[in-house]
Amino acid sequence: MFPPFRILPSLLAADYGSLASEILRAQNAGADAIHLDIMDGHFVPNISFGPAVVSLAAKTAPDFHRNVHLMLTQPNRYVDVFAKAGADTLQIHVEAQCNVKDTLRAIRSAGMRAGLVLNPRTESGAALPYIEEGLVDELLYMSVYPGFGGQSFMDTPLPNIRFLRARYPELEIMIDGGINCQTLPLAAQAGCNAFVAGSALFKQPDMQAEIAAYRDILEHL
Ligand code: DX5
Ligand code: ZN
């Protein structure tokens, strides 16, 4: 069965002067989870925030699922740190410099869902060994090069997403980068069921209306 649609605001685009209320704003707007982008200044050319912000989200909104996207060269070193901070899903890049299988297993052993992320030009074949072995609870395709919010959507991963959806009808397939009212239907038609949106949601004064508009688009594809 095709998995349910999910909408995940990315906290990267929030107002950093009031992070706790921004987390609550996303939850009250009807989002399915909060997406937290962790950047190390090495795997990507930017530094964002660390486990303290995941803890803040856990304390502020305990029932709001925390979807944590690690853009780290060595994510294997931080699995337990993010488990303790309260991550519910931990996503690692297939391009990271670690043993990806062991790290996906470690994420589950620490009690979290395991996500595997592919950069826009990484072929879907790179994910197959991990999916086939049953190590992936969710697959995330980037539709921008990771590192910064507010970039334009790239359609490069769409053929790879179509391939994966045809092969795995029940797989959770998420997309991240440049998602808004215009690009959401393209991603959904390619087979995505989960959508991360940073600037398009947090820059809206009425996030609830924007999320409702997304759900309306998804219901009428
Ligand atoms: C990019 C991050 C994204 C980013 C999305 O490196 O992984 O989650 O916050 O931001 P928008 O939706 O503004 O492209
Ligand atoms: Zn992200």
> Residues 6 or more apart from 8 whose CB is under 8 A from it?
31, 32, 33, 34, 35, 67, 174, 194, 195, 196, 197
Structure tokens at 1: 């069965």
Model-level pTM? 0.99
Residue 9, SS3 per DSSP: strand
Residue 92, SS3 per DSSP: strand
CA of 216 to the centre of ligand 2 (A): 23
Rounded to whole angstroms, the Cα distance separating 173 from 83 reads 22
Question: Is ligand 1 within 6 A of the CB of residue 9?
Answer: no
Q: Which ligand is nearest to the CA of 197?
A: 1
> In the structure, what pLDDT confidence band is assigned to residue 1 with cuts at 50, 70 and 90?
confident
Question: Is ligand 1 within 6 A of the CB of residue 177?
Answer: yes
Across the chain, mean pLDDT equals 98
3-state helix, strand, coil in the chain (%, to 5): 40, 20, 40
What is residue 54's predicted lDDT score, i.e. its pLDDT? 99
CA 31, chain centre distance (Å): 13
Question: Is ligand 1 within 6 A of the CB of residue 146?
Answer: yes
Question: Side chain identity at 138, as an amino acid letter?
Answer: E
81-128 pLDDT tens trace: 999 999 999 999 999 999 999 999 999 999 999 999 999 999 999 999
Above 90 in pLDDT, residue 196? yes
Rounded to whole angstroms, the Cα distance separating 208 from 133 reads 38
> Residues 6 or more apart from 124 whose CB is under 8 A from it?
118, 160, 161, 163, 164
Q: What is the dihedral of CA 76, 78, 80, 83, to 10 degrees?
A: -110
Which residues have a catalytic role annotated?
Answer: 37, 176
Q: Which ligand is nearest to the CA of 44?
A: 1
Query: Which residues lie at CB < 5 A from ion ligand 2?
Result: 37, 69, 176
What is residue 97's predicted lDDT score, i.e. its pLDDT? 98
E strand or H helix that includes residue 7 = strand 6-9
18-52 pLDDT tens trace: 999 999 999 999 999 999 999 999 999 999 999 99
